[in-house]
């Protein structure tokens, strides 16, 4: 995220709703759900990065009934850095029947709405900082089911990327994962905002 877009983001979004950092700094985003709590972290690759939870933004906006879990699917965390990383966490042995893809699609719709609001005062921002969209599913599996080589291995899963982690992990560093995804030879989602 470049300086101008970052400034627009910080003017438009309440600071309590996101965590941010500048190049080479570490950003830590807490994920607190009923069934699990852990911290996602990464080293910032671009000039600036932000991480936030769309459900927190929806709850703060207060224009939907239902509070934090208001209508409309969304993903667990969004990171904007050298790309847009939509992250969904699933606690399951097999991915077959999860609704992760629907949540990522819904999250993208909410994200487009949010970023439109961020750029609404400056038309040049709508095209200035186009970002690739990468969908990442973090699959939390039971203890003892992962070998060392399976843990944190980036798996291409249709339109999404996926990593598998142990259920008891409390801190997940996505730096290497983000780098592998963005340097991949074939980009899964080449959709760009405001096109």
- Report pLDDT for 177: 93
Please, which contacts does 31-39 make with residues 24 or more away whose CB atoms are closer than 8 Å? 31/76, 31/77, 31/89, 33/76, 33/89, 35/91, 36/89, 36/91, 36/140, 36/167, 37/170, 38/169, 38/170, 38/171, 38/172, 39/170, 39/171, 39/172
Flag whether pLDDT at 119 surpasses 50.
yes
**CA 12 remoteness from chain centre:** 19
Q: What is the pLDDT of residues 132-147, one digit of tens each?
A: 899 999 988 876 555 4
Write out the E strands in 46-121.
Answer: 48-52, 77-80, 84-91
Q: What is the mean pLDDT of residues 76-95?
A: 88
Residue 64: pLDDT band (50, 70, 90) is: low
pLDDT at 89 over 60: yes
Distance CA 37, CA 167 (A): 10
Contact 49, 23 (CB under 8 A): no
């Amino acid at each position: 995220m470049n300086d101008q877009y970052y400034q627009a983001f910080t003017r438009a979004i309440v600071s309590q709703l996101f965590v941010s950092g500048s190049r080479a700094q570490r950003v830590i985003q807490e994920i607190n759900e009923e069934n699990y709590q852990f911290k996602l972290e990464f080293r910032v690759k671009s000039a600036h990065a932000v991480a936030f939870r769309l459900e927190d933004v929806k709850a703060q906006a207060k224009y939907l009934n239902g509070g934090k879990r208001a209508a409309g699917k969304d993903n667990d965390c969004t990171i904007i850095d050298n790309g847009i990383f939509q992250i969904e966490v699933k606690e399951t042995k097999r991915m077959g029947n999860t609704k992760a893809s629907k949540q990522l699609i819904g999250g993208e719709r909410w994200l487009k709405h949010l970023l439109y609001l961020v750029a609404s005062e400056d038309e040049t921002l709508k095209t200035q900082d186009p970002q690739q969209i990468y969908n990442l599913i973090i699959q939390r599996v039971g203890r003892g089911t992962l070998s060392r080589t399976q843990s944190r291995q980036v798996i291409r899963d249709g339109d999404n990327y996926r990593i598998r982690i142990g259920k008891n992990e409390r801190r997940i560093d996505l730096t290497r994962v983000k780098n592998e995804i963005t340097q991949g030879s074939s980009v899964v989602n080449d959709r760009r905002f405001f096109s």
